[in-house]
Amino acid sequence: MTATATSWTFKKPSVLPGFGLTFGFTVFYLSIIILIPLAALLIRPWELGLEGVFNAATAPRVIAALKLSFGASLVAATINGIFGLLAAWVLVRYEFPGKRIIDALVDLPFALPTAVAGIALTTLYAPNGWFGQLLVPLGIKVAYTPLGVIVALTFIGLPFVVRSVQPVLADLEKEFEEAAATLGATRLQTFRRVVLPAVLPAWLTGIALAFARAVGEYGSVIFIAGNMPMISEIAPLLIVIKLEQFDYAGAAAVGSAMLAISFAMLLAINMLQAWARRR
């Protein structure tokens, strides 16, 4: 009895009560929602054999679609990284009429159905649209081109950067910037040495989220892209086309290629985030 009582007396309480049950539920939930579907995606293409999987994932049309999807997503995420940081800075540091309205409009791509966004963007940037007719004399065509894909992906990715950076900027004490100014630092030096290191991890997180969202985007792109094979056809659309043709293994092969490329790029971004936190 003494030994038992002693063991119970010195047993350290769990940080999370019911850890065994909650951990088991978490693993079960993740398995049902994520791991098992991903496993099915990776297993299905192998019914074609090794050569069939390779041919399905490296067909010229597939390569062109993958280049457009990942290239446009990277460009859109970069644009959002620049202007999203600027928008977050303005919303946090300045007071102006209509600030709450603009702050609410940032979340519009979250609430707006992607198909509606695609139709709206096509209406604006078509050759006879409000913006498109002004760009045509300049030799710039947006709708039904890869540029239209970038515009759509930029539209749906902006909130991720703004909402990732905004709370970090709001919590950043202005005293640090004032101290840098009293030591003779210019505004640019203060931003580089004080503000940017503080927001860099959150900024990279927002860019990564915008990129990940753009890679799998479908609804807002198919209306403005034109969907011309080898020119403006995105990988998600190619997967849908293969599914409609009952080529499930080929669709899974393209999806597996997208998954592998996305994982590699997100891993690189996460490593960059870890490096930024150690600085």
Q: What is the set of domains in the chain, with CATH numbers? A: 59-278 (1.10.3720.10)
214/196: higher pLDDT: 214
Nearest CA to 228 among 44, 21, 65? Answer: 65
Under 8 Å CB-to-CB from 85, ≥6 apart: which residues?
161, 165, 199, 203
DSSP code of residue 14:
P
Nearest CA to 146 among 242, 65, 59? Answer: 65
Neighbours of 218 (CB within 10 A): 15
Neighbours of 210 (CB within 10 A): 28
Distances (CA, A) of 234 to 104, 156, 215, 225: 30, 16, 9, 8
Q: Quote the tokens at residue 77.
A: 């995420």
Look at residue 2 in the predicted model and tell me its pLDDT: 47
181/162: higher pLDDT: 162
Q: Is 272 exposed, middle or buried (0-12, 13-18, 19+ CB in 10 A)?
A: middle
Residue 267 CB-half CA count within 13 A: 6
Q: Helix, strand, or coil here: 27? A: helix
- pLDDT per residue over 115-171, tens digit each? 898 899 999 999 888 998 899 888 899 999 999 999 999 999 999 999 999 999 888
Average pLDDT, the chain: 85
Nearest CA to 202 among 277, 121, 126, 115? Answer: 277
- Could you tell me the pTM of the whole model? 0.83
Distances (CA, A) of 177 to 93, 172, 206: 12, 9, 23
Q: How confident is the model at residue 63 (pLDDT cuts 50, 70, 90)?
A: very high
Q: Is the dihedral of CA 254, 257, 263, 266 positive or negative?
A: negative
Q: How confident is the model at residue 114 (pLDDT cuts 50, 70, 90)?
A: confident
Planar angle of CA 73, 58, 114, nearest 5 degrees: 30
Look at residue 125 in the predicted model and tell me its pLDDT: 93
Does pLDDT of 6 surpass 60?
no
Q: Helix, strand, or coil here: 139? A: coil
Is the distance from CB of 169 to CB of 89 less than 8 angstroms? yes
Does pLDDT of 13 surpass 70?
no
Is the distance from CB of 172 to CB of 158 less than 8 angstroms? no
Q: How confident is the model at residue 16 (pLDDT cuts 50, 70, 90)?
A: low
Does pLDDT of 65 surpass 90?
yes
